Structure 1
């Protein structure tokens, strides 16, 4: 399962103002859990529904995805949502089968499309030198703007999230 579909992430987002809806979608292969976040739009009486990196089913599992899509559309209707944003956990080139995405409108992703693993053993200068030029630029820009990364809490506090 993806971190952004986890119970803990829903709790974090709940503290940030989102209403977390945990759906249990029945499918042929069992119950598919889907975490959907409902937030304000700025237009009174309306909301938006956002599904980060979900539903967590295979790109070829058309039946499960269709069941999740139907459940999410019902939730969006109940919540008077203007938009339903679904960031599936797989790329469009991985989608197989006959699912009709023609009624969907592509949108800019909110979450990073990939994870980068960085070896933290080298000195910070060596790590920075290993980054792409644009990444180095953005790190330096963040420093100039006062962004500070400080590790004052033990790692175990991260697991509480």
Structure 2
């Protein structure tokens, strides 16, 4: 799987896997935080919408209280249905987007942790640490690679 680039072996290709959860504790915890925030926003939005519509209905002169109650029930059912369908779709989309973002954060940290563990047991990496195109923490990879180059060149440390 390694290609030869001059006398240095090529770095292994990334195995891209969107659905792989790299750091379960972090990814699931932040997914739950995002989901709860969306649920709270939906509940608050539903309550504000319901109260606003109810106040507007009270301003309309409807002489029959039964008709007003019937109208209120219909509006309540429509709002609940609207917020349930929209809420489920929003939760699904937000969950996917959030997992993707967390994957771009946890993936590089996972690779950095593996490289640091190699250094801890005395093995220098044979190729520089690089991240995928859309991953975060490029500066961290650059700093790590500079530290490894300093170690390889025999630079004296204070």
Bigger strand fraction: 1
TM-score surpassing 0.5?
no
Bigger helix fraction: 2
Q: TM-score, length-normalised on structure 1?
A: 0.22
Q: TM-score, length-normalised on structure 2?
A: 0.22
